[in-house]
Amino acid sequence: MNKAELEGEVEILTAENAAKDLKLQLAEEIINDLTAEIAGLKVQVAEFGDFVKEVGPKKEAEKPKLIEPFEVDGKIIKIKRAAFIFEGQRVTAEELKANKEMIEKLLKIGSGVLQIVGE
């Protein structure tokens, strides 16, 4: 490699490095911008979430009612809760009373929402 070729090589290398630096710089700026944006959004969401609550204690009239124990296949079933959530669905005690299959499922998993009286 003669001197002219060497100088050319050096120039190319420098140009490549500059391009790399520029790419890195741009990439860094983009990442920084995105990070700042995400951080900003997160802060907004956090402020929103911390402040605005729409859930509170239920009024007495809104509360579901407990029901009396009843008999299923010779067993007295007591439903201890007026309502509960099972498999993603809200179920009231009245609805459970009418659903023998669900009663069996709940007894099988050892749910605390109902019990067989005397056991």
Partner 1 sequence: MANGLKLTEVKSYQAYVQEFSNELIAIALNGFRTAQFLKEETGIQGKKTFSVMKSNGRVLKAFSTTYSGTGDKIEMIPRTIETYVTKAEMDIVPSDIRASYLGAFTLPNQEVLPAFLVQIVSYFIARLMTDIDELVWAGDKDGGASNVLDTLNGIDKQIAVAVAASDLTEIATGTISASDVIAKFTSVYDAMADVHKVSMIPLYLYCSKKNKDLYARAVQVATNMYTNPNEVKTMLFGTDCEIVDVPAWAGTSKVLVAPKGAIIYGYDQASAMNNINVIPQHYTLEHSVTPEIGVLIVTPWDGEIAVNDQF
**Distance separating alpha carbons of residues 82 and 95, to the nearest angstrom:** 10
**Distance separating alpha carbons of residues 20 and 117, to the nearest angstrom:** 77
The widest CA-to-CA distance across the chain, in whole angstroms, is 104
Residue 73 zone, left/alpha/beta (φ > 0; ψ -120 to 50; rest): left
Instruction: Select from 10-18, 28-36, 67-75, 111-119 the region that touches partner 1 (CB under 8 A).
Output: 111-119
Site string for partner 1, 26-55 (x = CB under 8 A): ----------------xx-xx-xxxxxxxx
Residues in contact with partner 1, counted by CB under 8 A, come to a total of 34
69 touches partner 1 by CB under 8 A: no
Positions in 77-106 near partner 1 (CB under 8 A): 81-88, 90-91, 106
For residue 83, what are the β-bridge partners? 92
CB of 18 to partner 1, least distance (A): 36
CB of 33 to partner 1, least distance (A): 20
